[in-house]
Chains A and B, each alone.
Chain A
C-alpha cells in the first residue's frame, strides 16, 4: 500500500528473537507499511528464557524521542500500535502522545493490545488496569484482548458466548469500533483441540449510518508455549483491517491464517531442533518469522470465520 500507511509502533526490542517490535516490524514492512518504531526496552531476549538482561526506556526518554519527531514536523501517522507495557507513567505518556497524534490526524487508527495477563492471572502490575480501562481503551480503535483481559476491563465474567459478545459490546461503548477476543476458554464445536476466538465490529459513519458484524472462529490449538504471537497477531490485524476495513471476517481469516502458518513452521522446526521426545526450549521456539515471508505476504486461508450477525443501517 502506498498511501496512508505509516505506523508508529511503541513496543519492546529484543536483540534475539521475535517479541514486541521485533515481532511486529518485519511482517508489516513486508506488507509495505512504513514502520517507525520506538523501543520501550532493549533486552537480550524475551523473559521466558533462563536469563535476560537489558535496559528500559523511561517515560521521559519516550517523550524526548517523540519531541524529536515533532520538532521535525514528521509526527504524522496513520496507525499506532502498542502492546506489552509494565509501567504506568510510560503508558500515560503513550496516551498523551496518541492524543496529540490523533489531533494531528483525526483519521489515525490506534491498534491496542491491552496486555495484562491470561488464564485468570495478571502478569503486569495491577495498577496498569485503571490506566488501560480509563485512559488507553477509550482511545483505541481496534482492541485485541484475550478473554481474561476483556473481563478485567469490563468487570464482567464470561461463561458463555452470549456473555462474550455482551462484554465486547461494553468494550465498544468504551471506545474501540473493532474488538477481537483473541482467545477464550469457551467450548469449540470442533472439539477440545480447538479454541474459540470472537470478533465484533460496530462502525458508526459520519452520516450516522451504522454497520456491524459479529464473527466466530475455531482455531486449532498447538501444544507449546509461544512468545510474541500476540504481538504478531495485533500487527497482522492492523495490516488486514487496513485492506478490509469493513469486513472483519476477511481481516480475521487472513490474520489467523498467517498465525497458523508461522506457528506450524515454528513448531516443526523447534521439534526438529529439540530431537525426538524432547520439549523444545524457548530459544528453539522463537517464531520462524523470516522463513515465513511468503505466508506473511499472501496467507493461504486455513480458518473460516463464521458470520453470526451482520447489519447495515
Chain B
C-alpha cells in the first residue's frame, strides 16, 4: 500500500494529542505520514501547566514551500484537527487547494474542532472560516453535535444513558451514475473520564478505515469505533491502577495507552455494530 498522508496538527513532547495521536496508528497501519507540527508544547493543555511554541501561518507556508520546491507535494490524504488561529487555518486551506490541484483524488479529512457541550473552546472567528472555507474543501468531516450545529435534539440511545449515539452519513455515486446516501447509527458506551486526543485518534482511524472501505461506511465506522474502544479501555484500566482505589486519575495518568494498543490498532476486534438507517 503506497499511501501518503499530510497531517497538520499539534505536537506535544509528552502524551498523545494531535500529531502524536494520529501518526503512530497510521504508520502502524502502513500509511506514510508527513507531519507538520502546528505547535510544539510540553504536553496538552489539560495538565496543570503547559509550555511551548506555536507555528505562524508564514512558517507553515515556508515548510510547505520546501516540500513543493523538491516536487514531493503529492499526497493522497490531508488530515487536520485543532487550530486556534484564523490566518493559520486560511493558510491550511490554500495548501489543501493546491494539493488537490496536484492530485484531484486527494481526500481531505477534517476534524472541525470548535467546541463541545454547548460552548466554543476556540476563538469565535474560526467558525466562519470553517463554515465558508474549510468544510467546502473537506471530503470527510468528524464534527461532534455542537460543531455540526444541529438544531434538533438527538434521540437518546436505545441502550440507556450509559451510551451515546453517533451518526454517519456518506454520499456516494454508484457506477451507473445514480446517487445514494448511506446513513449509519452507532451506540457507543460512555466512559466516566475525560480523555484528550481521542478525537484526533478517531479522525486518523476513520481516514485509515474509509481508505480500506471507501464504499462501506458501516464497516469503516465499526472498525474506527472498535479501535477507540480498545484504546480507551486499556487507558482507563491503567489510569485507575496508577491512581489507586477511589481516586480520580490525573491527566498524565489518563494519557492514551497508544503504544500498548498496537495489536488492536492493526486488527481491531469489532465490539460495536453500526445499524444502517437507509
Contact = CB atoms under 8 A, between A and B. Distances in A.
A52 B66 contact: yes
A271 to B, nearest CB: 16
Contact of A15 (B40, B49, B67): B67
DSSP majority for the A interface?
mixed
Nearest to B40: A39
A278 interface: no
B59 A68 contact: no
B35 A68 contact: no
A149 to B, nearest CB: 27
A61 B42 contact: no
A66 B184 CA distance: 45
A109 B258 CA distance: 23
B134 to A, nearest CB: 21
Q: Which of the listed residues A26, A39, A65 has the most CB atoms from chain B within 10 Å of its own CB?
A: A65
B252 interface: yes
A51 B43 contact: no
B243 interface: no
B69 A38 contact: no
A21 to B, nearest CB: 10
A16 interface: yes
Contacts of B32: 290
B63 interface: yes
B49 A68 contact: yes
Interface stretch (A28-36, A84-92, A173-181, A301-309): A28-36
A18 to B, nearest CB: 10
A283 B67 CA distance: 11
A54 to B, nearest CB: 6
A44 interface: yes
A67 B63 contact: no
A69 interface: yes
Nearest to A21: B11
Contacts of A68: 13, 41-43, 49-52
A15 B37 CA distance: 8
A50 B51 contact: no
**Chain B, interface size: which category?**
35 or more
Interface in A256-295: 283, 289-291, 293
Given A51-B66, A290-B27, A291-B30, A64 B35 contact: no
B219 interface: no
B259 A65 contact: no
A249 interface: no
B193 interface: no
B47 A72 contact: yes
Q: Number of contact residues on A: which range applies?
A: 35 or more
Interface string B164-196: 000000000000000000000000000000000
B185 to A, nearest CB: 34
Nearest to B252: A74
A49 interface: yes
A283 B66 contact: no
B211 interface: no
Contact of A55 (B14, B23, B50, B59): B59
A32 B260 contact: yes
A205 interface: no
Contacts of B66: 15, 43-45, 51-54
A16 B49 CA distance: 31
A202 interface: no
A95 B36 CA distance: 28
A130 B47 CA distance: 39
Nearest to B1: A291
B77 interface: no
Contacts of B125: none
Contacts of B47: 72
Contacts of A74: 14, 43, 252
A188 interface: no
Contacts of B14: 36, 69, 74
A53 B48 contact: no
B72 interface: yes
B259 A34 contact: yes
Interface of B: 11, 13-14, 23-24, 27-28, 30-37, 40-43, 47-53, 55, 59, 62-67, 69-70, 72, 252, 258-260, 262
Shortest beta-carbon contacts, A-B, top 4: A44-B66, A68-B42, A68-B51, A53-B66
27 contacts: A2-B260, A13-B11, A15-B35, A15-B36, A15-B67, A16-B72, A26-B23, A36-B14, A38-B40, A39-B37, A42-B63, A44-B65, A44-B66, A44-B70, A54-B63, A54-B66, A55-B59, A55-B62, A64-B52, A65-B51, A66-B42, A68-B43, A71-B48, A72-B252, A290-B31, A291-B30, A293-B30
